[in-house]
Structure formats: structure tokens, C-alpha cells
Amino acid sequence: MIYETNALVIFTNFEVLEGSALSPIKLLKTLAVAVSKTKNSKGTRFSLLFKKEEKAVNDFSPLYLSARLSILCTFLGFLWIAFSDKIISDIIQDKEIFAYVSIMKGWAYVIVSSVVLFLLVYRLLKRIKKSEEELMRSYEELTAAHEELESLYEEIAASEEELKQQYDQLIENEKKMHYLAYNDTLTGLPNKLSLLENASINSLCPKKNKAAIFFVDMDNFKYVNDTMGHAFGDKFIAKVGEKLSSLLNEECSIYRIGGDEFVIILKDIKSNDDAVSFAEYILNGFVDGLEVDGILMSTTLSIGIAIYPEHGESIIELLKCADIAMYRSKSQGKNGYVMYDKCMDKALNERIIIEKHLRSALAKSEFELYYQPQLDLKIKKIIGLEALLRWKSPELGLLSPMKFIGIAEDTRLIIPLGTWVLRTSCEFLKSLHQKGFENLSISVNISIQQLLQSDFVNIVRDVLETCDLKPEHLELEITETMLMESFERIRPKLCELKELGVGIALDDFGKGYSSLSYLSQLPITTLKIDKSFIVDIPTDDESKVLIGQIIALGRKLGMCVVAEGVETKEQLQYLVKNQCDKIQGYIFSKPLPENEIIKLL
């Protein structure tokens, strides 16, 4: 480039000189001197140019040239006059001719002087013009350099402004990244990372007092997602977060650690009773439910409690203990709280082992169906079977459904497992029909997760068509708890199944408290009396009265009534006397595998 290493110096001096009244020669000289003072100027174009011009300017002196010209003219005139007059006087004697020659000599002197002056002035003016041309070129180059430097300065200024904007944006992005890293985007609450990094024990208990960790989990939230959609579920979680936050005081902090799980820390408690009272306070805060998009949602929570330093001296230890206690609360019926106890560790370890093997059990064909006969009390014959799942694990042995069904529901493994039970039991029933037992039907327990599948009715229809079974030979059993929790959501599915011809049985009837009002609104075909009532028949008059009323209610509604868990003659006699339709229990047969059922039939 033109300006290379000393361009900035030229640019600076040029700005100063541009408005001055210096002559071109002076200007050129001053600029040349300025450039000569820059570092490494020998290799640049401007330094070479101005050194040359500096020498030319130093060699040029107006006084010297004027004196030189005057002396030259005087000397030549003196010589001309002295020698020309003497020579002419010696040669020409005639005065007229002498006068004429003198006149001609004078003109010759004038002409010669004019030529000499012309040559001298011409040479000087030519030299001046050349210097002016070089100065003009230098000026144009300096102007171009100045314009380029101005352009470069503007670019640098623009770049500086852009860098400033980028820096400001970077600071803003860092703040956003920090917020996203330590806060939940859905609820705006601090997240698990914030809990683990910022909630140190010293901050929890600066005075070495007790503190409580509450692990809060929303009950049945997965059903909300399955039926209302994930967008609605997100709004529901946000509402729960808002409600929890509104219930807290300055001694509390709250975190959302994922899914439908929250952690609340209560500082400076005096005793474990303070933690229990706070848990009850939280549960009571959700009694009235929450409104989401105009829909009033019934909301219950399961809470696990861990106490510092009794149950742990680090956040991770306390979270683990509170999590274990929360799962115990769920297993005890939900909508409650449990304080951690060391004996719970054994149950957790057992759950972890079961879940680990459960994930591969179906693929390894470790499940087996047992069937318990249902006896018609009028004709004294087996007219149906209830399919009951068993798990024969090579590592864990034979496990009853009580051990693993809850885990299967929590992990959603119940969906493929339930489909396998439905298909396998229908295939077995078809094989019995082919053996001549065409009057038999099959009862299959289904989970709420299966029923809430959008294509569950189609799955049932496909199984019936594949096995070539009539719908009336299949009965699906739902629990009373499922009915109470999800009435509005499961009612349309049950109606579709009834229209298909499939029977609907209400299992464990009597254990709940609100299902009586729903019986007339649902397509229930069978009531199954829970065995907890049957076992008290010999000794409890109230149970007898209640069972008699259930049987009478079922008959009035046109339903078939089945008594579960019948084990004694007294129980059987009472059920026959009160016109119960069917029984199943150990008095007649325990659940049997396929080959033994065939022998029994």
C-alpha cells in the first residue's frame, strides 16, 4: 500500500499542513522532513521521494541564482563592449560605417542577451515546472493516502462499534446461558443444578440447626399427559410450581428438579414435628384443586421428607433419602407424606433390582399366565377364568403381581406387558373353545395406562379378530380406584368397548367411597366384591349386611355379581343364600397354569 509504515505520520502532518499558508516548496520540504523522521523510512516510497525533493530544495537559492545571472550579464556586456569596440575601431576607419556597425553590435548584444536570458529562464522555469509536477503527483498521492486512511479509520471505527455490540451481546448471552443453566424454563424456578451447586449445608443451616428436605411429586401426572397432551401437562406443572411457591415463607426455597418433581427446603426447624406440620400444610393447599385453561384439575401430591443432619449431611444424601420416602408415600396410596427411615433402603434396593430385570423379562419370555376359575353358583359349573400374571425370573424366582405391577406402571412397561397378557389369554381361551369348552369366557385385568392409549379399543378389536373370538367371551377388569381417579377420561373408552360387545367388570368393589354414583353412568356388566369383605363374613355382621346390599344393588342394575377370595364353607353358604352369581377363591380352586386348568375342566 502507498502508506505502509510511515503513512500515519504523513497523514498526521498532512492534516496540520493542509490548512496552512506555506508555499508548495516549503510544504514539500516540511513533509519530506516529517517523513524522514519516521522509523524504517528508507524502504518506503515516500521517504525516497521526499529525500530527493529535499536535496533539490536545498540546492535552489533565489539570491544565488539572481547574483549569478547579473554577474554573468555584466561580465559578458563588459567583454562585448571592451573587445568589440577595439576590434571594430581597428578594422573600420570610416565613421559612418563604424556608427552603423556599432548600432548593429548593440542589437546583436540585445539579441544574444535575450537568447541567453531565455535559455537561463527557460531552464529554471522548466526545472520549477518539473518540481511542481512532482509536487502535484506527491500531493495527489498524499490525498489518496489521506482518503484511504480516512476510509480505514471509518472501517476501524465501524469495527470498533460492531465489536462493542458483539461484546454487549456476548454479555447478554452469558446472562441468558447462566439463567438457563440454573433455572427451569417452564416454571422459572431454580433447577437441580442450582440445588446441587448453591444449596450447601452451610447455607441451609448457618446456625447448625435442623433443616428439612421435601421431595414433592405430583400424583398421576402421567395420566394427564396421556389424556390432555403434553402442552396442557406443561401448563399444569407451571400452575403447581406457582401454587407451591405461594405457600412458602422466607425460610423456604423451592426447586424443580425434573418432570413433575419439586424439592422444597425448610430451614431452621426445631423438631421433626415442624417438618410434618409443613408437609400437611402443603397438602392442604391443594385440596381445592387448580384451574388450568378453564378446567379444574384435582391435584394431589406425594411427599417424602428427610431431616438434616439426622438422615444425611450432604444435599445428595438428603435428596436420596427424601426420594425413597416419597416412593413409600406413593406405595401407601398417594396424597400423603412419609418421613424417611433407614429400613426403607431395603425396599428401594429391592425395587431397583426388580426394575432392572423387569425391563428384559418380556423379551426373555419369563412371564406366565395362571388362571383362576369362576364358578356359577346356580349351575355349579365353571363358566369363566380370570387371567393372573406371574413372573418366573431365573434370578429372583417366582414373583406375584404385587411385587412388580406397580414398577411396571411407573416405567410404562405395563403397556407392552398388558398387551401380551391380553393376547396370550385370548389365545388360550380360543384353544379351550376348540377343545369343546365353548361356554367359557376370560377376564383380563387392564391398567389405566392401557385404557388411556388412543388406540386401545383397536388393539382389543385386533386381538379378538386374530384369535377368532366373539367379544362377549372377553371381559376387561378395571379397579374402583382407577374409576374414581379417571372417570371422565375412561368413560368414552368403556362405552366404545361395550358397543363392541366386550364386558366390563369393576374389580375390588367396596374399597372406594365414591364409585356408587358412577355405576349408573358407566357400562359396567360385572361387580366384583373385594375379598376384604368376604373374609369377615363369619364374624362381622356389618360386612354381611354390606355384602347383601352390594349383591342386591348389582342385581337391580342388571349386573353380574362375583365374590372374590371365597375360602370357607360359611362364606360360600352366605353368598348362595344372598343370590351371588359367581365366586372365585381357594374353596374351589387356586390360580392354575394352563395344563392344570385343562385337567380341571
Biggest alpha carbon–alpha carbon distance for the chain = 191
CB of 420 closer than 8 Å to CB of 445: no
Distance CA 438, CA 598 (A): 13
pTM score? 0.62
Residue 349 lies in a domain: no
- Provide the domain count of the chain: 3
Beta-sheet pairing, 381-393 with 397-399: antiparallel
Residues 275, 413, single domain; the answer is no
Residues 242, 327, single domain; the answer is yes
Domain boundary at 285, 312, 342, which? 342
Residue 288 lies in a domain: yes
At residue 385, φ and ψ (nearest 5 deg) are -135, 140
Query: From the CB of residue 570, how many other CB atoms can be counted at a distance below 10 Å?
Result: 12
- Sheet bearing 261-269, strands edge to edge: 252-258, 261-269, 210-218, 301-308, 336-339
CB of 572 closer than 8 Å to CB of 380: no
At residue 138, φ and ψ (nearest 5 deg) are -65, -40
Residues 457, 585, single domain; the answer is yes
What is the reported pLDDT for 283?
A: 95
Residues 468, 521, single domain; the answer is yes
Q: Which residue has the cell 497523514?
A: 11
Distance CA 188, CA 204 (A): 21
Distance CA 58, CA 483 (A): 113
What is the reported pLDDT for 6?
A: 41
Task: Assign 3-class secondary structure to 328-349.
Answer: HHHHCCCCEEEECCCCHHHHHH
Residue 184 lies in a domain: no
Residue 354 lies in a domain: no
Which CATH number belongs to the domain containing residue 298 in this structure? 3.30.70.270
Which residues pair with residue 155 across a beta bridge? none
**Joined grid coordinates for residue 472:** 362377549
**Joined grid coordinates for residue 52:** 530527493
What is the reported pLDDT for 358?
A: 93
CB of 371 closer than 8 Å to CB of 584: no
CB of 324 closer than 8 Å to CB of 348: yes
What is the reported pLDDT for 238?
A: 94
Residue 172 lies in a domain: no
What is the reported pLDDT for 102?
A: 75
Query: Residue 38, SS3?
Result: coil
**Joined grid coordinates for residue 377:** 353358583
Residues 379, 321, single domain; the answer is no
Cis, peptide link before residue 309, omega less than 30° from 0: yes
What is the reported pLDDT for 586?
A: 93
Helices (H), 183-217: 192-198, 201-204
What is the reported pLDDT for 78?
A: 76
Distance CA 541, CA 533 (A): 11
Distance CA 421, CA 369 (A): 7
Q: Minimal CA–CA distance to 313: which of 211, 191, 216, 215?
A: 211
At residue 538, φ and ψ (nearest 5 deg) are -65, -30
Residues 492, 583, single domain; the answer is yes
Residues 125, 198, single domain; the answer is no
Residues 334, 466, single domain; the answer is no
Domain that holds residue 29: 7-166
Distance CA 497, CA 477 (A): 12
CB of 388 closer than 8 Å to CB of 370: yes
What is the reported pLDDT for 4?
A: 38
Distance CA 259, CA 191 (A): 11
Residue 159 lies in a domain: yes
- Helices 45-59 + 95-182 axis angle, to 10: 150
Q: Minimal CA–CA distance to 554: which of 524, 531, 576?
A: 524
Grouped pLDDT means (10 residues each) for the chain, 601 residues: 38 40 44 43 44 54 72 75 72 76 78 79 84 90 91 90 89 87 91 81 65 93 80 93 92 91 92 94 93 88 94 90 92 89 85 90 94 94 95 91 88 93 96 94 93 92 95 92 74 92 87 61 89 80 82 90 92 91 93 93 80
Task: Assign 3-class secondary structure to 128-179.
Answer: HHHHHHHHHHHHHHHHHHHHHHHHHHHHHHHHHHHHHHHHHHHHHHHHHHHH
Task: Assign 3-class secondary structure to 56-83.
Answer: HHHHCCHHHHHHHHHHHHHHHHHHHHHH
Residues 437, 314, single domain; the answer is no
Residues 331, 385, single domain; the answer is no
Q: Which residue has the cell 516510497?
A: 45
Query: From the CB of residue 519, how many other CB atoms can be counted at a distance below 10 Å?
Result: 16
Amino acid found at 486: S
Residue 173 lies in a domain: no
Q: Which residue has the cell 395362571?
A: 370
Query: Residue 303, SS3?
Result: strand
CB of 232 closer than 8 Å to CB of 293: yes
**Joined grid coordinates for residue 48:** 525516497
Which CATH number belongs to the domain containing residue 533 in this structure? 3.20.20.450
Amino acid found at 320: K
Residues 150, 253, single domain; the answer is no
Distance CA 123, CA 476 (A): 123
Query: From the CB of residue 536, how many other CB atoms can be counted at a distance below 10 Å?
Result: 16
Distance CA 347, CA 370 (A): 27
Residue 449 lies in a domain: yes
Q: Minimal CA–CA distance to 10: which of 142, 131, 141?
A: 142
The full DSSP string for 530-567 is -HHHHTTTTT-HHHHHHHHHHHHHHHHTT-EEEEE---
Distance CA 505, CA 562 (A): 9
What is the reported pLDDT for 128?
A: 85
Residues 212, 338, single domain; the answer is yes
Distance CA 38, CA 47 (A): 9
What is the reported pLDDT for 25?
A: 43
DSSP 385: E
